[in-house]
Structure 1
């Protein structure tokens, strides 16, 4: 049974914190690493070579479509349409 509003329910253990400071490693707290790990954006090593990948046809179509729209808008602005 839940506690009335404004009172603390000691029987509800689902709301308790499940981790302690000891559970977090020193690397995670200081932010220091050897650069081999990754994060959401990938690795933070700046000396990685850039390698070209294959061009996705769908992406190429959207790039060409965007360029055509910009050219038409600029031409319409210059010609007064």
Structure 2
């Protein structure tokens, strides 16, 4: 299970999340959509541990594997998305 508990995150002067909470159960599949700057990448970075929330906590149960394909395609240099 992945749990987001009362997370808060601010980028500069922009508030991205205020007391946000959610949980993802084993086997659930979700999609995350929103306009540019809404915090989608920030959320994934917090789930993968690349960033920490300013407030609250993100918990990922032991044994959970997270697959995340970065939107930064610079590292792909000549490879297709399928190959990556």
TM-score (norm 2): 0.19
Higher helix share: 1
Larger relative contact order, structure 1 or 2 (CA cutoff 8 Å, min sep 6) = 2
Q: Which has the larger radius of gyration?
A: 1
User: Which structure has greater strand proportion?
Assistant: 2
